[in-house]
Amino acid sequence: MSIPKTGKNSFPPKDYLDQIKHYRELVLTLGDSPKNRYTLEEDISKYLFKPGIYAIGELSQFEKDSKNLYEFEEEFCEGYWFETNGVYKANNGTLFTNIKTCWGDGIYLDNLGNEYIVDHGSIGCISEDEIVLRKNSKVALFPEPFTVNYDKNTAIMRFGSLFIDTDFLEIGNREIYFYDPSNTYEPNHPANKSKKSIHVKILPYYEALKAFPKNKKNISIELIKYIKKSETKIGKWGEHTNDYGFKKSASMGLLSKISKKIKLYNNYDEEKNRVNLINLFEKSKSDIKDWLINIKEEIEKIELEELNKEIEDGKLHLIKEDENINHKRANPIKIYFDKNTYLENIDIERFQKIIKTSINFLKNRGDV
């Protein structure tokens, strides 16, 4: 049975092959093989990205969009780190991916003929909601929800129907394509109702906005902004400060965890997010103390899993072995706390007010 194909697949033009000649020569001089290169082992096609406008390229070149961040979240606003290799959640709640190329730095080409200049060894895909884009910035327009993947056998990256070959030894010897049954843009994928290939378009940002108007802010982000606007004190010049008027020490940290919980509701179906958030806050009415503790424990569990994964992967070393650069891998971290003591340091009534504010905001956004 022949393998189905998608998109506009063509061999790289000769001038491109001339451009990357020195990269190919370097690879051949090293005598290395793609099998020996560090590439993404994980199958990341299980993650479903929202439709919309995305930037594809080296993520470290993009400035983070900080307009939806708050002081208590303690987020940095530099570009996204190029050391990451996989799928992650960005500051404003959307998924982004960053994938290390097979041979590191270089000039790479996608199946539509677009070049990607890489200086930090990776290529990523990130939503317009997360970064600052100029009107002439080149962006990718994804008309339907899409998946991404990396084929470790060919070193080809896939973003929907967009493919980038990152193996200098093979560029020019094959089409930039690999078949992936999990790709929602394939004609035979169950999620593809049209049963036709879905195509990604690369165009200037201002043109993409005409074809796909910028989405309203994610409702979870809007809710966080509304809580800040409604619950903080007004400063000398009429601005909303970061003072929530908490009287007990643990309250600010708990508000940060509630914010992170809200951000977990980031399905591309905004109405579903709204209803689920209402249900989340309504549950607090049966036992506010138990609800607050559950939020704290759930978010801390997520944070600890992320921390322990970094330790397990060797990305984070907590115990120094000696004065040299060598480090000993730390044991997984666990946190225990006394619930009663913790609750004594929480402004329960203030959180009841914040919950009521949240429910009213969410209900006024729909017909519930």
Pinpoint the alpha helices (H) of 232-287.
251-263, 270-282
Amino acid at 145: P
pLDDT digits over 1-60, tens only?
A: 233 444 445 678 888 888 999 998 888 887 777 767 778 888 999 999 999 999 999 988
pLDDT of residue 139: 95
Place of tokens 């491109």: 16
pLDDT of residue 211: 77
Collect all residues with Cβ–Cβ distance below 8 Å to 223 and sequence separation of at least 6: 262, 277, 358, 361, 362
Q: Which regions of the chain does DSSP assign to beta strands (E)?
A: 52-57, 86-89, 95-100, 106-110, 115-118, 122-127, 138-142, 148-151, 156-159, 162-165, 201-204, 319-320, 327-328
Helix 251-263 vs helix 348-364: angle between axes, to the nearest 10 degrees?
A: 30
- Output the CA–CA distances (angstroms, integers) from residue 330 to 94, 304, 319, 326, in the order listed: 31, 13, 6, 13
d(CA 85, CA 82): 8
Could you list the mean pLDDT of each consecutive 10-residue stretch along the chain, which spans 368 residues? 43 86 87 75 91 92 67 45 82 87 92 92 92 91 94 93 92 87 92 89 92 70 89 84 90 93 82 93 96 94 80 52 46 69 94 95 76
Tell me phi and psi for residue 62, to 5 degrees. Answer: -95, 140
Collect all residues with Cβ–Cβ distance below 8 Å to 4 and sequence separation of at least 6: 179, 186, 187, 188
Q: Domain segments of the chain: what residues?
A: 14-211, 219-364
Q: 105-118 burial, b for 16+ CB within 10 Å, e for fewer?
A: ebebbbbbeeebeb
pLDDT digits over 325-355, tens only?
A: 444 455 555 566 789 999 999 999 999 999 9
Please give the model's pTM, rounded to 2 decimal places: 0.66
Closest CA to 258 of 288, 233, 217: 288
pLDDT of residue 39: 81
d(CA 357, CA 366): 15
